[in-house]
Each structure stands twice: as structure tokens, then as C-alpha cells.
């Protein structure tokens, strides 16, 4: 089949991060204007090409392509695939609708969080023909292989949903991929030439992103990742990860941004990976995320020696009561210890903070501010809690506002910036939360001592450019928002 795998542009926000399997996770100036390659689409394109399909991947934002441009490019394509989250669905569906107007036989396929957790609502839209739930790679492999036969057997593929004579058919889930080594190494030559994937956490260019694990055992009430990818951590083997890293080095890449949510959970595997990187003196620096409680001081030293320079942590709050309310499964003492070890190891840190959590008050926010002063992260982001479909918090909000199950109420313009029915969760008003979000950014980034520290970290002209480019966007957000 001739297939387009598409990362569409947004008319509402300039930089939308869509490098997670479930779609978009953040956007805008709050993240320093960060951009990343659309890893899930690159992986999917690589896999489908190996299956013999004629596949083109387009990253519309990176290539500055409008919807009108895309409609002119659809001639001859039999299918188009888009990775959609609950906050991008409305825009994505309209794009697919417009693409279908110029190509009546075009099959539009939607994967990601939106179809996974609200399948029938997605299928109601006239721009959507087929949906894919949870992990997309093998589902789409089987779907497109069967569509080639033209005899209707594609409707039997697990993990899909489709329309049938005015009704919606949603098949059972496809099993999770237990052996992630079965997935191919991404063909990075698929990226558009001269595309700008600036990211303030990256120190060495060119860089790539990678994913070595899937799944999370956490029970955080706000997170859709475990129900999407499973509550068991599945990982690529140490040999497979190392071969991928060696391939990056051979192809001239200098840094890798690991997009795992639980990279540090597989200790034995990681010890083998990191020790080998050190032994081989691999010229590859890297960034990762980690869950509090999965690292020791020795782990961080080994990570540092193997090239890690920055770790992102989901801190969420500096108030233990809030952490307990959202079932984070960590303590403030664990957070303090983890950041202390990171500082001692010379690894920079990032703290994700949410406000508007269940039980949030002015007092809990003040305690979070005091806590951040104590743990002293290198960078931080502050966002208003959004109850996503598929999470316990969403179900709680739906008890009072059942209409949220009947429409997509979240969009990119309001993501993490506006209160989304949080009056069911905390005592702070929407106006107060919006004020605190910007005020927290101003407090954190405008401190003279913080600005001085950043000036002292600058070691090169590229460092200076990176700090200015990211810093001006964050400071602008702290005043004007997105």
C-alpha cells in the first residue's frame, strides 16, 4: 500500500511535542520552545517499509507544511496515519477530514491516546475511518498487510475500531509486545533535511531520541501511561540497546534523549549497558527520565560516567499529603535524597510540578515553593493538572461532569494552562490556578541567584545560544503565557 505517516501542524500552538506513543504530552514556551523528532512515527514508518509498503513520513511542523499543502500531496495515497492525543484530537480529526475531501478512497487511521480511551467518540467524526488502540506497530503492520488483500479480513485485526453500516465496531486489544527486540532500529534518514529540532536539554548536536522500555507499574491517579502501555515494565535487551547506541555513533549522532518513563527500573540490564558504554568509551552523551525511588547514589555515578548529564523527575508536589492523594508512591524524603545524590554526582535535574491536585491549597503551593528551594533542581516546569481519559481522576471528575465523556473538552490552547473541571479536586479557583502557574515560573526563573548560576554554567558559544533561546521563551511565558 501507499501510506502517508503524518505529524500534522497545529494552528493554535507553535511547538507541539508528539514523541510519545500516546501522542502529544506538552507544548509551547513553557518548555523553552523545545521540539523533538516524532519517534513513534519514525519507528512505524521503518517497520511498514520493512513489510514492503510504500511509506512516506511527513513532519508538517518541521517542514512548514500547511493543511492546504498536505491536501495537494495526497494524490495516490491509499491511507494516512496520525498519532493523536486527547488534546490534539479535534484539530487532527479536522485535518483528516480535509485530506479525505480531495481523496475519496483514502483510509484515515488514528492511533494514540484519543482512540485508545475514547474509541467511539473518535469514530463519530466523519474524518476518521479506522482507529488503533494502545501500541500501534504490530496492529498497523497486520492492518495494512490485510488491507492489501482487499477482501475484508482487515476487520479481524485486534486493536482496531471501525465503522460498519452506521455502527461502531471496536475489537479487543492487541497483546502487548513482550519482546521489544522484535521492533526495528529507527531509520533516522527519514527525517526532513535541515529540520530544526531544538531542545534546551540537549547539549550536543545532532541528537536522536530513543525508547528502551515500555510500561509502568505506577498507580498515579493522573497518568494515562500505565493503562496505555501496561503496568509491567518491558525492556529491550542490553545487547539490543547497545547495538542501537553503536549505530547512533556510527551515523554521527552525539547525544540521545531517552524517552522512557521507566528507564531506570531495569537495574541489571542498565548496569550492563552503562558498564559497556564506559568500557568502549562510547562518544555518546544522554538524557533520561527516572522515577523517584528507582536510583541510588552509585546508580547515578555510573550513569554520569557513562555519559548521562540530565535527569527529569516527576516531583509533582512538595507536600506529602498531595503526593499521597495522587498515589504517587513516593515520599518527600525520597525526593530530597534523590536530588542530593544527583547534585553530588554532577548530573543536572528537572522537576515536573503540577498544581490543582486533589487537596491543593495556597498552603500546599507555598510548601512546594519552599521544597523546590531545598532540592534545587536545574530546571522546572509548572502546569495545571489535567484529568485525562483512562485515569482515575478523569472518572472522578466525570461523576460531577458526565459531559466530559461525551466530547473532547481539552485542546492545545488550554493544555496545562487552564483549569479543567478542577473545582471537583481542590479549593483553588480556575483564576487562582492560572495566576499561580505563571507566578511559579516567574519565582523560579527570575531569581537573581538562579540567573547567576546559569551564567556560571555557560562553557561555550553553543551553551550561550541554547540558554538565550530557551530562557527568553520561558520568561515570556511567565509573563504572557502561551
Q: What is the pLDDT of residue 105?
A: 87
User: What mean pLDDT do residues 61-74 have?
Assistant: 90
Report yes or no: 365 and 355 within 8 Å, Cβ to Cβ.
Answer: yes
Parallel, antiparallel, or unpaired: how do β-strands 234-235 and 16-17 relate?
A: unpaired
* Rounded Cα distance, 57 and 74, in Å: 12
Q: What is the pLDDT of residue 416?
A: 47
Which triple of cell numbers denotes residue 448? 537573581
* Most confident option among 28-42, 51-65, 393-407: 51-65
Parallel, antiparallel, or unpaired: how do β-strands 255-258 and 285-290 relate?
A: parallel
- Tell me which DSSP letter residue 460 carries: S
Which of 30-39, 129-138, 298-307 has the least mean pLDDT? 30-39
Domain 201-445 classification at class level: alpha beta
Report yes or no: 130 and 102 within 8 Å, Cβ to Cβ.
Answer: no
User: What mean pLDDT do residues 40-50 have?
Assistant: 97
The share of the chain scoring above pLDDT 90, in percent, equals 70
The predicted model scores a pTM of: 0.93
Model confidence pLDDT, tens digit, residues 275-297 = 999 999 999 999 999 999 999 99
Q: For the chain, how big is the Rg over CA atoms in Å?
A: 22
Would you kindly state where each structural domain of the chain is located, as residue ranges? 2-170, 201-445
Which of 28-42, 143-157, 250-264, 302-316 has the least mean pLDDT? 28-42
Query: 2-170 adopts what CATH topology?
Result: Rossmann fold (3.40.50)
Give the 3-state secondary structure of residue 344.
helix
* Rounded Cα distance, 228 and 276, in Å: 32
The answer to whether 2-170 and 201-445 have equal CATH topology is no
* Rounded Cα distance, 351 and 376, in Å: 9
Model confidence pLDDT, tens digit, residues 331-365 = 999 999 999 999 999 999 999 999 999 999 999 99
Cα torsion angle, 74, 79, 84, 88, sign = positive
Amino acid at each position: 500500500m501507499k501510506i502517508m505517516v503524518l505529524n500534522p501542524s497545529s494552528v493554535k500552538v507553535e511547538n507541539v511535542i508528539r514523541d510519545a506513543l500516546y501522542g502529544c504530552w506538552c507544548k509551547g514556551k513553557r518548555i523553552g520552545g523545545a521540539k523533538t523528532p516524532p519517534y513513534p512515527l519514525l519507528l512505524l514508518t521503518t517497520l511498514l517499509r520493512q513489510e514492503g509498503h510504500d511509506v512516506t513520513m511527513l513532519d508538517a511542523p518541521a517542514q512548514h507544511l500547511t493543511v492546504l499543502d498536505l491536501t495537494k500531496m495526497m494524490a495516490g495515497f491509499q491511507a494516512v496515519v496520525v498519532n493523536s492525543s486527547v488534546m490534539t484530537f479535534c484539530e487532527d480529526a479536522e485535518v483528516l477530514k480535509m485530506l479525505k475531501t480531495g481523496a475519496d478512497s483514502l483510509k484515515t487511521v488514528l492511533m494514540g491516546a484519543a482512540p485508545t480511551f475514547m474509541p467511539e467518540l473518535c469514530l463519530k467524526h466523519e474524518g476518521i475511518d479506522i482507529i488503533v488502540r494502545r501500541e500501534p506497530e504490530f496492529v498497523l503492520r497486520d492492518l495494512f498487510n490485510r488491507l492489501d488483500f482487499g477482501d475484508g479480513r482487515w476487520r479481524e485485526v485486534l486493536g482496531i475500531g471501525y465503522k460498519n453500516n452506521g455502527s461502531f465496531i471496536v475489537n479487543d486489544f492487541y497483546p502487548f509486545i513482550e519482546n521489544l527486540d522484535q521492533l526495528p532500529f529507527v531509520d533516522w534518514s527519514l527525517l526532513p533535511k535541515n529540520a530544526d529540532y531544538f531542545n534546551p536539554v540537549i547539549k550536543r548536536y545532532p541528537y536522536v531520541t530513543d525508547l528502551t522500555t515500555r510500561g509502568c507499574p505506577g498507580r498515579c491517579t493522573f497518568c494515562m501511561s500505565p493503562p496505555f502501555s501496561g503496568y509491567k515494565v518491558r525492556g529491550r535487551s542490553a545487547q539490543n540497546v547497545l547495538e542501537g547506541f553503536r549505530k547512533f555513533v556510527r551515523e554521527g549522532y552525539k547525544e540521545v534523549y531517552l524517552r522512557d518513563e521507566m528507564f531506570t527500573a531495569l537495574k541489571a540490564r542498565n548496569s550492563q549497558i552503562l558498564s559497556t558504554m564506559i568500557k568502549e568509551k562510547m562518544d555518546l552523551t544522554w538524557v533520561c527520565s527516572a522515577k523517584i525511588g528507582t536510583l541510588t547514589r552509585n546508580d547515578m555515578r555510573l550513569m554520569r560516567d557513562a555519559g548521562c548529564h540530565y535527569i527529569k523527575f516527576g516531583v509533582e508536589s512538595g507536600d506529602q499529603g498531595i503526593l499521597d492523594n495522587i498515589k504517587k508512591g513516593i515520599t518527600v524524603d525520597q525526593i530530597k535524597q534523590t536530588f542530593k545524590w544527583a547534585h553530588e554526582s554532577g548530573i543536572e535535574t528537572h522537576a515536573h510540578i503540577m498544581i490543582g491536585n486533589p487537596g491543593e491549597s495556597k498552603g500546599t503551593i507555598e510548601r512546594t515553593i519552599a521544597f523546590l528551594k531545598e532540592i534545587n533542581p536545574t530546571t522546572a516546569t509548572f502546569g495545571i493538572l489535567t484529568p485525562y481519559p483512562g485515569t482515575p481522576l478523569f472518572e472522578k471528575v466525570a461523576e460531577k461532569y458526565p459531559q466530559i465523556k461525551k466530547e473532547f473538552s481539552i485542546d492545545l490552547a488550554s493544555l496545562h494552562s487552564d483549569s479543567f473541571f478542577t473545582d471537583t479536586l481542590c479549593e483553588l479557583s480556575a483564576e487562582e490556578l492560572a495566576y499561580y502557574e505563571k507566578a511559579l515560573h516567574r519565582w523560579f526563573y527570575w531569581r537573581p541567584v538562579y540567573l547567576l548560576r546559569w551564567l556560571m554554567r555557560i562553557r561555550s558559544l553553543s551553551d550561550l545560544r541554547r540558554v538565550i533561546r530557551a530562557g527568553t521563551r520561558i520568561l515570556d511565558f511567565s509573563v504572557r503565557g502561551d
